[in-house]
Structure formats: structure tokens, C-alpha cells
A and B are shown apart, each in its own frame.
Chain A
């Protein structure tokens, strides 16, 4: 471990590290329990509720929030918006670690994780949208890995390999957008099979479109959110380009987010109309749906627009965090709240503390790895051997 982390000479026992350490210890303990005693010992899953927060949060939210990768890389490399170039590597890293965390969480959730490769090597089930999700996530993780690897290779000094990989950027970006479109929407489409179990306000034939569009929103907001946090904690690692472009990135992505949120709001309303579910808006679930739609979609859209117009970065940053929260609310709603809404409350699901512990554990590990990589590899700055290609 180099001294780059503690440039100011402080000890390793920062409050963050201590808390992270405790979480890691608890996480490891629960992991052992999970794999020796089975799912029943560490979760509140039941026959009525086979999917809990490891799917609802770790998988659904994780994949949505990792969408910044394809959004940023497509903006820069396909749509040619070069002024956001400094946001690409952090976004790709966030995406890569996010998807990696999703795959790790999946290993906790499925009954026999060593069989995860089975759909590809033993027996296919191509009528299933889950097959499509699995295939696309697996491929996309590889794509993200390849997109991230130039930074690692620069750090390791492997020039030739790094140059080869850089040449693949456009191809990987296009492939990444295709794969992201497919799996982001398919995660929503997973619920198409269960109209009798998902509340009509959240169930719609358009649910795949809703998930994809909200993933774009999540990606845009996560980039701003992650940039805000990075600038707070890793500012000493950033080069001039990074520092200079950050405001433009916030404004540009904020504008895009406002537009996409407006579009999302409209298609959600179309969804209610398609199902003729207006009368449900007055029910308790309906009120909660309106909280999600107005509080976490319409209002952020509004505030993004104001922030962009007034060039008020503070508003944009807070709205980004708020939108990220809204995505979490939406995914949890679809996966846990609106699902099985018809069951009596005795049969409804609330996570076991150990499930929450694992989710927190995985997020903590993600943050630690993120910190490790950002403080060593040329993510927030350009490696001196490789001047920026503009």
C-alpha cells in the first residue's frame, strides 16, 4: 500500500475507515452464515416473497444507478460531446464496480450460485427475460471491464495493450449501449409475467420502457452525484481538465436530466391512461404512486430546469441526489412495495437485518474499491504518458 492515500500523514483509522471496517466484519460474518446455513437463516424470504432487497435493491437499484457508464460514454464518443470527456472514466468505473457488485449480490441471492453459468453452458431458457438479463449483464460487465482496463493498464505501464484497447472504444461503446438498453428494459419486463401480483399503477405493458428511461435518468444523475462526492473527497487527485469541466458537466447533464425526466413523466401518465387506472390514484397505493411520480419525477425535473437556467450548481447537485433517491424509491416500489400488494399484511415482506447488512456491506466494499482505484489509477486525471486526446 503506497502512501498516496495518506498524503497528509494521517493515520488509517479515519472515521470512515472504522465504520467501513465494522461493516466489513459484520458482512463477512453474515456471508459465512448465508453459505453454511442457507437463505432461510439470513433472510426473511418466504414462498410468497421469493425476491427481497437483494434483488429489489442490490440488483434492480444497482443496475439502474450503474447506468452512468453507457450514458456518459455514448454522450462523449457517439454524440461527440467532447466537453464531458473528463466524466467518462469516473462514470465507467462507477458502472463497472456497480455491475460487479450486482453480480456479487446475485451470488448471495440465488440458491446455487455455482450454477450461475448454467444458462450459458448447460441448458438455455431463452423464453425467459431473465436469460436475456443474465446474458446482457454478463456481456456488459465484460464490456465495462474492457472500457475500464486502459486506466489500469496505464497505471501498470502496459502501453501496447492499452493502445489496442483504446482503439476498441467506439465499438465497445456502441455494444455497451445496445446491451444496456436490453438489460435495463428487461429488468422491468421481468414483471410483465405477473400482472396479478403487481399493483396496476406500477404494472404496465410499457414497464420495460419506463425502466430504460429511468435508467438513463439514473445514469445522468449518478454522474453528477458521484462527481459532487468525488470533488469533495478526491479533489487532490484531480487534474486541471477535471476541475475545469466539472461545472459544464453538471449543467449539461442537468439539462439532459430535466428533459428526460419530463419525457418520463409524460410516458408514466400515458401508462396510467392506457390502463384506465385513474380511479386508483385516490387509494392509499395511489397516493404513494403520486408521491413517487410528482415528488420524485416532476419536481426534480422542475428543479433541474431551474438550476440549469440560473446556472445554480447547488440546486443541480441536490436535485441529482434527490433523483437518485427517486430511482431507489421506484425500483423498491416495483420490486417490494407494489408487488404482492394484494396479500394480507401478515404475508408481506420486510427485510431481515442480515439482508440489510449484506447490502450495506456490498455498497461499502464498492466504495472502498472505488477509493482504491481513484487514488492510484488515472481516473480523475490524465496519466502523464498519455496526453488527453481531444
Chain B
């Protein structure tokens, strides 16, 4: 049947073609990746070019642009930033300011911006390729990569006390070289003494109206200055990407150990208090007891002022009112002081300090909650509010605060060696194993030694017996705290489900502390390290 076999042949060909085309196209359609897995290169100078975002949704993936590679290449040819960056006169400072945009001062239309990128980049790459030098991509997909071949290791950098000291020294303490303030009325920048703060107080992550973003401000100010000084052969910081933003390079930045205290008329010891506006509305006797605060000591605990002074250099109560207002972002004064998990609040910072290796062994087993009872409040709210009535004048207040703090000596407190048992023999429940000979005194003195110099710890361990409560928990501080068997017996009591049985109480108390503090020995699974097996 010739007709039949012709039909068969035809259909077989169609089928074969369909199958083949499907298999071939499946890479494109279904994304079977034929490319070998490429380990991405790690760099700190990657700029994500997604400038077209302002015009709508991106049609192609954004471009990972390697800035330093280009600056280095241009340097070799004795070319500088002006190859890519246009300058304009800054109306504020009357200086020539380089635009961080590529080959343009502002975004005009979609097509124009796209053309600027395409025409300039591709042309330059073509030229370098023609000159037989290493060049960049010219095909669409090589820049607009579906799968990233570079991964950013960009690290942020900020001005900390050491850097700031070095800068101010280099500038001969001429603060006006970097610090300025903006006058809303005259719409001009000017230098105001005693109003210097971090750039971040005004320059945010995004450009707002005529307030440029922190990135633009920082690069414009820092990089420019560094370049100029280097050109004049003066010591200066880096002006390439990696010098500031690469982790290993950041480690090379010289750190000045004992930075002299900044002179900004900041107080030594002061009360943390409510604002004057609040005080007018509320009877002072109806407020919380006062908190004397050692500002000078706290200055040493952070690398920069902005950890606490996150919006400006004034006191917290200037923005955070008792009931919360717009200035404070709705955060009440109480929340600002007590909210956990954020560094600018007192409690938040103190809690994060508890995660230090020397502290975490005990503190990890404490539940996350507001401490019950009023005793712990009194730790900070030490001065009865009645005492402030009648005290007028900042200096008098400060003296009072200093006196209140002076009455407390923050030293490491624990019982004397004579009162600390040297060895504690734990023989409850020794059926499979011999009793445990716990080197009690050694443990206590080691732990206390570790926190001896920590002012925070000393302040909050006000009694001799406070550190003992790390293990001797859920009972008042005492020289002779009760034995564990007083509360822990059989496990899985449905009426008291959160109290472990005696074995688990012993085991977890020791093991969890060891694990948290990273103590390698004794290994938790090595039973005989703590108690010998009974023969």
C-alpha cells in the first residue's frame, strides 16, 4: 500500500521534527541549564545599574557594574573620573560637584538614558577591543545577566570615633570643612558651630527633593577630598571602592586606641528625664523615679555617638514625649528607653550585651520578658522624684545625679572564698553513676573574674548573691541557697509542666551554660567526665 506507507513516512518525519525541536527548545523554554555552574566572583565594587527603574518596570535584568575595574583601567591610561562623570556647579557650596550619574546630570527620558548607557559603554568596549586590550561585554546578555557571575561583598563603612579623630586632626580641627547645616528659609548650607552631627542626621538612604542621599553625599565629600589630597601627595584615605568597602581592606584601617573625648559640651553625669513640655503638663510627683545616667562612661561603650543619638545629638526626651508624638515617630519615652532588640534603647543595648561569652552562660536561660517586681526597676530609677522638686538649674541637677551614682560602687560582688563551698558533692539520684564532685568555688571565681571589669554587670549585680542566682535560680539571693531537690523531683508533672525533673535540671543547667559559653570540655555526651560509672 504505497499510499499508506507514504502517509506513515510523512507522519514519522513530523513526529521526529517535533520531538527534536522540543528537546532543543526545552533549554530555552523550560530552562534546562546547559551552562556549567560558574562560581561567582566576589567583589566589593559592584554597582547595580537599575537606573531605568524610574521609568517603569525593567525589561532586562539590572547590570552588575564593576566600578573599580573601570577606574583601574582608566588610571592606567591616565584618565580620571571625568571620563564618565559630568560635573556641575553646586548651588549651595559654589563648588564643582561631580554627578554620580553616568554621563549625565539628570535623568531625562527613557530612551535618552538608555542610549547614554548603551552608546557610551558599548562604544568604549569596542574601542578597547579594537586596540587589542582586555575589554568588556558588548552583547545584550553579557551585561544584562540572567544568572549573576559576580557576587557583592560590599560592606558598609561609617565614621567612628577613631576615624573621626584622625580626620579632625588632619583638618586641623576645622569642623567646617565637612559639617554643614541647612537653612530652610534661605535655602542655603552653612556651618553652625556646636551643631555638628553625623551626615546621616540629614542625608538618608534615598535622595529626597534637593537633599541628596547619604551615598551621594558621602562619595561626593569623602572621595573627592581623598582624591585631591592624594593628588597633592598628602596622606589621605582610599578613593577606590574596595579601599572602604571591602572587608579585608577595612581591617587595614588604622584604629586609634585612646581617642580623646569629643568636645561638644556633653554632660558627664545627668538625669534621664522627661521633656520640659511634658513636665508642664504632668505633676513631677506623678512621674517615674529619676534615672542618673553616666553619659561619660557610656561614651566609651560605643564606637560612635549615633548608636544612641540616632536622630540628633540632643537628649532623648526632646523627641520622645511621654505619650509619643510625630517627632519621635510615635515612640513613647518609655518605649525609647525600654524596648528590647534595638540598640538605641537602654534595655535593648544592655540585653545585647548579655550575649557576650562571659555573660551568656547564665543569661541564655532567662526567659525573655519584663522582669517582674519593682526591685529591678529601682536599679535604674534610683532617685526618688520628690528630691528633684525645687532643684532648679542644670548644674545642680548634674551634681545630684553624680552624687546618686557615686553612692553606688559598681564592683564585682560575690561572697568571700570562705563562704563559697569549694566542692559540692551532688549525690541525689546516684544509682547508675557515682556522686558528682562539683568544683564549685573554682567555677564561681572563674565566672566572676570574667565579668570583674564589666561595669554593666557590676551595676546590675548589686548584691553578693546575685551572680549565684545564675544557677541557684527562682529563689532569693542568699549565702545558702536551697538545694535543687527542693523544687525538682519527678519529670512530666502535668500540673507544673515547665519544671524539669531533677536529672534534666542538673544536666541542662550545666550543659546549656557550657554550650552557650562555647566551653569545649566537658563534652556533654561524655558522661564519665562529670561522674564515674558505678561498677
Contacts and interface: CB of A to CB of B under 8 A. Distances in A.
Direct contact of A and B (CB under 8 A): yes
Interface of A: 279, 281-283, 286-287, 290, 294, 299, 302-303, 306, 310, 312, 315
Nearest to B27: A282
B154 to A, nearest CB: 34
A302 B3 CA distance: 16
A306 B3 CA distance: 11
Nearest to A312: B4
Interface string B21-41: 011001001111000000000
A287 B19 CA distance: 10
A286 B30 CA distance: 10
B11 A310 contact: no
Contacts, number: 30
B7 interface: yes
Contacts of A306: 4, 7-8, 11
Interface residues of B, number: 15
A338 to B, nearest CB: 18
B253 interface: no
Given A310-B4, A315-B4, A299 B15 contact: yes
A282 B30 contact: yes
A310 B3 contact: yes
Nearest to A298: B15
A282 B29 contact: yes
Given A282-B29, A282-B31, A282-B32, A310 B1 contact: yes
A290 B3 CA distance: 30
A51 to B, nearest CB: 31
A282 B33 CA distance: 11
A310 B30 CA distance: 39
A333 to B, nearest CB: 19
Contacts of A290: 22
Give the dominant DSSP class at A's interface.
Answer: helix
A8 to B, nearest CB: 35
A255 to B, nearest CB: 16
A235 B50 CA distance: 79
Nearest to B30: A282
Nearest to A290: B22
Contacts of B7: 306, 310
A294 B29 CA distance: 19
Contact of A282 (B1, B11, B26): B26
B4 A279 contact: no
The 5 A-B pairs of least Cβ separation, nearest first, read A282-B30, A310-B4, A282-B26, A312-B4, A310-B1
A315 B1 CA distance: 11
Given A282-B32, A306-B11, A312-B4, 17 more contacts: A281-B30, A282-B26, A282-B29, A282-B30, A282-B31, A283-B30, A283-B32, A294-B15, A294-B19, A302-B11, A306-B4, A306-B7, A306-B8, A310-B1, A310-B3, A310-B7, A315-B4
Given A299-B15, A302-B11, A306-B8, A279 B30 contact: yes
Contacts of A282: 26, 29-32
Nearest to B18: A294
Contacts of B4: 306, 310, 312, 315
A279 B8 CA distance: 32
Nearest to A299: B15
A316 B19 CA distance: 23
A39 B214 CA distance: 73
Contacts of B19: 294
B442 to A, nearest CB: 49
Contacts of B3: 310
B11 A287 contact: no
